[in-house]
Amino acid sequence: MNINWYPANKIELEEMLNDFLKTKQKFPKELHGLIVPHAGYQFSGEISGKAYSLLKGKKFEKVIILGPSHYKGFKGIKSLKEILTPLGRIKIVKNDYEKLDYEHSVQNQIPFIQKMLPNAKILPLVVGQINMDFAETIAKELVKEKALFVISTDLSHFMPYKQATEKDKATIKIIEKLNFKALQDIDACGIFPLMIGMQMCKQKSYKPKLIEYKNSGDVTEDKSSVVGYASFWF
């Protein structure tokens, strides 16, 4: 467990989560999935919390997380072996995927899920390099599942504030419009999970809706080089 992403102390983590989740959002009647960032909680936790707060009153027995690989290069999909946070060890859905030991893009989602859906089993999938045919095929399989889908991605990295904001607004529009023809213009580390998520939305006629966008410059006030964060529901 990497303690740099969120507090290693259970009480501190719960207090932080409670603060992020107290926000009041307009609750959609039907919620199928979320698109959320995966940076350190001090940077993107508020944006993630506004998305996860939509789970209040919702019941999901399974959560399928799709996050990009930051540490190992591979093609296709792998699963995490086990996940332990200060809130406890999670129940991982049995699967036949090759296993990885760690990936923060997936693991940083777990405390929010433990808080909002404490009894849910989790399928933690790490997405390597894929093409659109693979994304379409996997999406067809995943949409058969009765589960909440969580797509993990940050947006642009290390651009000046104004440039990042313009780039991220373009990415947000592509995601909301499911504009597959403009995928090459998306600036996001989770482009491969996004491809699967967008395919699921296309196949089920879901429409991603932006909840909030900010970047690290809004948090630290250092606008010379920022990372973008956005959350959506679909």
The domains of the chain are located at 30-54+61-221
User: Is residue 1 over pLDDT 60?
Assistant: no
pTM for the whole thing? 0.95
Q: 215 and 226 in contact (C-beta within 8 Å)?
A: yes
User: What is the arithmetic mean of pLDDT over 9-22?
Assistant: 96
Q: 152 and 66 in contact (C-beta within 8 Å)?
A: yes
Residues 185 and 177: their CA atoms lie apart, in Å, by 13
Write down the pLDDT at residue 23: 77
| CATH class in words for 30-54+61-221 | alpha beta
Strand runs labelled E in 69-169: 77-80, 84-85, 88-89, 99-100, 121-127, 148-152, 157-159
pLDDT tens digits for range 69-117: 999 999 999 999 999 999 999 999 999 999 999 999 999 999 999 999 9
User: Is residue 17 over pLDDT 90?
Assistant: yes
φ, ψ of residue 65 to 5 degrees: the values are: -105, 135
Residues 73 and 11: their CA atoms lie apart, in Å, by 36
User: Is residue 24 over pLDDT 80?
Assistant: no
User: What is the arithmetic mean of pLDDT over 162-185?
Assistant: 97
